[in-house]
Amino acid sequence: MEYRVNVCESIPQTVLQIPRGIRADHVSADIADGMRELTATARYAGLTACGAPTLTYHRQSGSDDAVPVEFAVPIDPGTGLGPRSGAEVNVTPGTLVARTCHRGAYDDIDTAYRALHEWLHSSGYRPAGPPTEVYLIGPDEVADPRQLITEIRIPIAARPALALHLPATFRTTERLIRKALRERGFVVSTTLDVEATLREHLGEHIDDHRVLGACHPHLMSQALRTDPQAGLLQPCTVVVRAVDTGTLIEAADPTVLIHTTGQTALTEIAEQTRRLLADALETLRAVAYPS
């Protein structure tokens, strides 16, 4: 199935919310039970639903645990609910979300999540909250799972970094980004192997993850002549880390740092640095994703 991802602003809503759990081996049954409880609670309280029911995952499950989730349904504003119901009526704020639509059973809904996360890796956004499933056609409405339609939404925010996802190994990606930086006048002066550091000192195991410190001598010289404290903003941080679908490169946006610190005299130099970093990533993007 092909998944199209788009960005939209969700609207503020008054919603009825009920906490429950979803078991990994009983997903469809637990979702159907949650919807029935949601419908029964709304009916008992005399609330009028005015939208599709939703389910928000608050964390990933363990091997044997049920995932804590929250079922919700939009209701007409101005209504309340007694504390004995075990449910709540809240107003949810509008937020920017990335969304895609899955048609069919929940058994393979992971493919829709993968499509969303792959899109996020190559976009200018990062996840800013837990995912929500909107049941446009849910198991309480149809018996044939092929007729189910589920919209998946992930709250997003603009990345404070330039990012590129490559469908390549960690080692290949690190070699390519080092070469691209060198060709644009950067010198990689420091390398922090995060995976090795955590393994050695804490006994923790994570995927390959390195932090490169990249300095552009010519631009750094200009920056120091403009502001002797410019060294505090150096070197440029470039992160290379393995993800499920390949490798992710993230470069800290120097213009964001300038805005945060208020060192506006360095704005032009920061913009030049950003253009060079963006060009390095764009070169790799063109190779990995030829048009």
Q: Are residues 123 and 227 in the same domain?
A: no
Specify whether 173 is located in the same domain as 257: yes
Task: Please tell me the total count of domains within the chain.
Answer: 2
Place of tokens 């048009």: 291
Q: Domain containing 225 — which CATH number?
A: 3.30.310.70
Structural domain of 266: 161-288
Please state, in angstroms and rounded to a whole number, the distance separating the CA atoms of residues 291 and 83.
57
Q: In this structure, are 70 and 205 located in the same domain?
A: no
Q: Are 31 and 22 in contact (CB under 8 A)?
A: yes
21 and 86 inside one domain: yes
Q: Strand 187-193 to strand 161-166: parallel, antiparallel, or no bridges (unpaired)?
A: unpaired
> In this structure, what CATH number is given to the domain that contains residue 22?
3.20.80.10
- Residue 197 and residue 101 share a domain: no
> Residue holding tokens 């509008």?
94
C-alpha span between 102 and 150 (Å, rounded): 5
Containing 18, the helix (H) or strand (E) segment is strand 13-22
- 1 belongs to a structural domain: no
291 residues of the chain, pLDDT tens digit each: 789 999 999 989 999 999 999 888 888 888 889 989 998 888 888 888 899 999 999 865 544 578 899 999 999 865 555 555 567 888 888 899 999 999 998 888 999 999 998 888 777 788 899 999 999 998 878 889 899 999 999 999 877 788 889 999 999 999 999 999 999 999 999 999 999 999 999 999 999 999 999 999 999 999 999 989 888 888 899 999 999 889 999 999 888 878 777 777 888 999 999 999 999 999 998 888 776
Q: Answer yes or no: do 151 and 227 share one domain.
A: no
Q: Are 15 and 147 in the same domain?
A: yes
* Residue from 128, 161, 187 nearest 249 by CA: 161
